[in-house]
Amino acid sequence: MRRAKREVADLAEPASGEAGDARWTFWLHCASEGRKTDADQKVRGLTAIMARMAPGAPVEFSPDAVKLVDVWRVDVDHLTGKRRE
């Protein structure tokens, strides 16, 4: 079980109604099981993260760096939440 404060951006369905403007903070509680991500999947995930965090920046990952990183893929079937007003 991990607990982390995360900032999330969902470009598909922004909460504010403007593309690219949806951001919120939530506490993640996760208990899961699955297979480890292979190196190619890790690189694809890291590349997607970097494209979001530093658009247009050249990105390259060494094999040693990829080995040291965990990349989690979470397929969501159902998600609930509440909004503080």
What pLDDT, in 10s, does the model give residues 5-62?
Answer: 444 444 444 444 444 555 555 555 566 666 666 888 889 888 988 898 888 899 999 9
Residue 3, pLDDT above cutoff 50: no
Dihedral angle, C-alpha 56, 57, 61, 65, nearest 10 °: -130
- Give the residues across from 4 on adjacent strands: 28
Q: Are residues 25 and 45 in the same domain?
A: no
Is 25 part of a structural domain of the chain? Answer: yes
| Residue 30 backbone dihedrals phi, psi, to 5 degrees | -140, 125
Q: Are 38 and 66 in contact (CB under 8 A)?
A: no
> What pLDDT does 64 receive?
92
Q: Are residues 57 and 39 in the same domain?
A: yes
Residue 4, pLDDT above cutoff 70: no
Q: Are residues 64 and 50 in the same domain?
A: yes
User: What's the domain count of the chain?
Assistant: 2
> What pLDDT does 1 receive?
43
Q: Are residues 63 and 40 in the same domain?
A: yes
Cα angle 40, 45, 50 (rounded to 5 degrees) comes to 125
> What pLDDT does 11 receive?
44
Residue 19: give the domain boundaries.
Answer: 1-31
> What pLDDT does 23 receive?
52
Residue 73, pLDDT above cutoff 60: yes
